[in-house]
Structure 1
Amino acid sequence: MKGQILDFSIQTNSGVISGDDQNRYQFSGAQWRGQIPPVRGQKIDFSVDGTGQANDIYILSSPSVFPTQVGDKNRIIAAILAFFLGGFGIHKFYLGQIGWGIVYLIFCWTFIPAIVAFIEFIIYLCTSDEDFARKYG
């Protein structure tokens, strides 16, 4: 059966799966067959024993190599704006930080905002989509 992880607690070594049949199944960490610990939202394949417990749980999809947009702001677009137009604070306006965007515009003649924007460009590229969405949502 297929489903996804709803919750997993490392402390209790147990979790809950939502099956594609709209039922929930409890499982213990001993039934997990992946190399990395279970994470909320992972797509999985599992079997169910007679007591309704999930057994032999395998990951169907691993985290994507390609960036995915989690929030309404895209980190790649923010990084591109920071690289090309960061000295004018355009990336700050895109992220909704209007005050900082105005500060960048006022001081753009000093080239200091361009240096800071280049550092932010690197930070945006190194930040995960989830962390970026949490911060700039």
Structure 2
Amino acid sequence: MHTQTCPQCSHHIHTSSCTCTECDTAIGLDALSGMDPHIRNRNQKLAVWFGVVLGVFGAHKFYLGQHSKGWLYLLFSWTLVPMVMGWIDSFNTMKMSAFSFEQRYARRVSLQ
């Protein structure tokens, strides 16, 4: 079994781990990239396309993690009102800066 030492707490961890099990410090390439491995980022362009093409079904809301709003869009999809609202949401998402999008929709993943 190959192990390495955590630079933060000196705990021995497996070489395939990207974080220390004791202190959650990023190890290896994750530490060099400056990205938190526990945060899942969403793609802004993909969210816009989901809103334009599948907005009537609320696909963009499900993709962005807003499941209750997605279910409302799906429930009222027969009225075609969610289609227009999906286009409006897509336009607003497209106007949003990349930083604002990440701040709003990046979600922290639990370690369990």
TM-score range, shorter chain: 0.5 to 0.7
State the percentage of identical aligned residues. 36
RCO comparison, higher one (Cα < 8 Å, 6+)? 2
Counterpart AA for 1:97: Q
1:71-90 mapped onto 2 (5 Å cutoff): 72-90=41-59
Root mean square deviation, CA, Å: 0.9
Give the TM-score of the pair, scaled to structure 1.
0.48
Distance 2:83 2:101 in 1: 21
Partner of 2:95: 126
1:108 aligns with 2:77: yes
CA deviation after TM superposition for structure 1 residue 81, in Å? 0.3
Counterpart AA for 2:81: I
Which sections of structure 2, spanning at least 5 residues, go unmatched? 1-39, 107-112
Q: How many pairs align?
A: 67
Distance 2:53 2:80 in 1: 13
Partner of 2:12: none
Larger Rg: 1
Distance 1:132 1:112 in 2: 24
Distance 1:74 1:116 in 2: 20
CA deviation after TM superposition for structure 1 residue 82, in Å? 0.3
Which one has a larger percent helix, Structure 1 or Structure 2?
A: 2
Which residue of the other structure, out of 43, 47, 60, is the alignment partner of 1:91?
A: 60
Which one has a larger percent strand, Structure 1 or Structure 2?
A: 1
Distance 1:127 1:73 in 2: 14
Give the TM-score of the pair, scaled to structure 2.
0.58
Structure 1 stretches of 4+ moved >3 Å? none
Distance 2:101 2:94 in 1: 10
1:1-137 mapped onto 2 (5 Å cutoff): 72-137=41-106
Counterpart AA for 1:74: N
